[in-house]
Chain A
Amino acid sequence: MAFGPYFLLATLEGLVTAAVLSLMALGLSLVFGVMRVVNVAHGEFYMLGAVLAWWFSSLVGGHPAVGFLLALVLSPLVVAAIAFVAERLVLSRLNYEPEATIVATIGLLYIIQQLALTFYGPEARPVEAPFNHRISLPWFGYSAYKLSVIGFSILMMLATWVLLTRTKIGLVMRATQFDRETAQAFGIPVGRVYAGVFALGAGLAAVAAVLIVPIQQAHYLMGLDPLLLSFIVVIIGGLGSLRGTVVAAVLIGLSDGIISMFFSPTLAKMLATLIVAMVLVFRPQGLFGAPAR
């Protein structure tokens, strides 16, 4: 294959990575932005989304699209509910102290991971894609499902943006993000807002996982790499910045796709880490984040 088509293929693969990464990192960024909680268990909510997607899709027979759609609806809801309960039982009782919540979410990470190992097992299991159509390009055929992942992720990001900027729930979330105490003085139940944001963040990770399981298999250790990449994305983009998250995810996704294909995946990870280091040195608040107040 000539360079041009090869480059196009790498770009498409990078965009698929960026799309899924955007959703996952957006969840992490929202939780930090509003709650100031570094959720180390975020990758496990992603893993849980994938495992539940396998379970839901295997419940129903018939066309694979039926099982996939069931998983796409129910898996994020179940993961969000688990995150909501975890927030009420653990984080709220720690009064959201930064150090304590890091330790607590590390604990959650191991609990969720080991429960998955116990009840789901160590096997990697696939979920069938809802459709297997290939789009014929002049140089190669490309999975229509992968393109639909990009499209669906964009829709989810737009929906999140509308929620944050055009609805009362979003206004309440942003007010809480900027000043927790004053928000309370204006009748905002901060604890419930935090629980909702934590659930929303976990739900977004689960959506990303359901989208990816027809491409990568569900496995109980699959949460670690996306968690690290998500941290890289939110540090580069600026914690709490939706625009920054998308831009950084596209940057990291594309560089991962292209550099992995032309050179090696290790070099791609090295470059991503180098970019993070540069951002931390020269612009600690990230490309689109506000300076600390």
Chain B
Amino acid sequence: MTAASGMAALRMEGVDSFYGHVQVLRGFDLELKSGEVLCLLGRNGAGKTTALKTIMGLVPATAGRILLGDADLTKLPPHEVPKAGVAYVPQGRRLFSELTVAENIEVGLMTRGKGAATREAVLDLFPVLRERLKQRSGTLSGGEQQMLAMARALCLEPQVLLLDEPTEGLMPSMIARIRETVAGLRERGVSTILVEQRVDAVLPVADRVAFIENGRNRETVPVERLRADPDMVHRYVGVG
């Protein structure tokens, strides 16, 4: 595990957001350091997924700021956020299931005008996708779909990567593969926010963990502290 640089890659300051009339995020603060893997842990409905969607502009922030470097993402329309360098792997993959693997990758490449070199680099990370380029993405296995969802996001060559429950429903070998990929991205300086329900999936890869409760970031701690004090997980998540 490499140490993060200490500079903030992304910062959320006092962010509020709503689904309709229901407030989900309440004065939400979060700091993602450059080159770190920050995990959001919390119960269902705590606001983890909403935090990621608010960063992407898919759920509008009604108060506060979301800073990527000096740029305030809340001032951008949603389709400009990925162009600024934030890539998103949604919960449940959300592939364009009627499109082929190659077409899904092409959509990712188009986002920031990347070309063949990026495409090859991404396919080198997930070689199995090379054999499936003409296959409709909805017909891939769960693990392959997750690889494609990550490949599509990495086509942006992002500074910040948002992963929403990437290990959900995957077999252990595939979970290990995802962890390796996240660790590899950290080596290349990509900062990652990882939303997870399972603590065992987080510990081997995260640098810090933020506990989310009722739309607020209650506490952000280094992962070593979580190892030393497992009760902390019980307090916020209710499971070990």
Contact = CB atoms under 8 A, between A and B. Distances in A.
Contact of A182 (B77, B96, B103): B96
A184 B78 contact: yes
A127 B107 CA distance: 44
Contact of B77 (A174, A175, A189): A189
Contacts of B57: 184
Q: How large is the interface on A (under 10, 10 to 19, 20 to 34, 35 or more residues)?
A: 10 to 19
A75 B2 CA distance: 63
Interface stretch (B82-90, B127-135, B173-181, B223-231): B82-90
Given A171-B103, A184-B58, A189 B79 contact: yes
Interface in A41-97: none
Interface in A175-230: 175, 178-179, 181-190
A190 B99 CA distance: 18
A44 B98 CA distance: 32
B35 interface: no
A182 B90 contact: yes
Interface of A is mostly: helix
B97 interface: yes
Contact of B82 (A168, A178, A187, A290): A187
Q: Which among A168, A185, A188 has the highest number of chain B CB atoms within 10 Å?
A: A185
Contacts of A178: 96-99
Interface in B81-140: 81-83, 88, 90, 94, 96-99, 103, 106-108, 110-112
Interface string A163-177: 000001001101100
Contacts of A175: 96, 99, 103, 107
Contact of A190 (B79, B106, B107): B79
A154 B152 CA distance: 36
B56 interface: yes
A172 B96 CA distance: 11
Contacts of A187: 79-80, 82-83, 110-112
A97 to B, nearest CB: 13
Contact of B98 (A186, A189, A290): A290
Contacts of B112: 187
Nearest to A193: B79
Given A181-B58, A187-B110, A190-B79, 11 more contacts: A175-B103, A179-B94, A184-B78, A184-B79, A185-B56, A185-B78, A186-B82, A187-B83, A187-B112, A189-B77, A290-B98
Interface of A: 168, 171-172, 174-175, 178-179, 181-190, 290
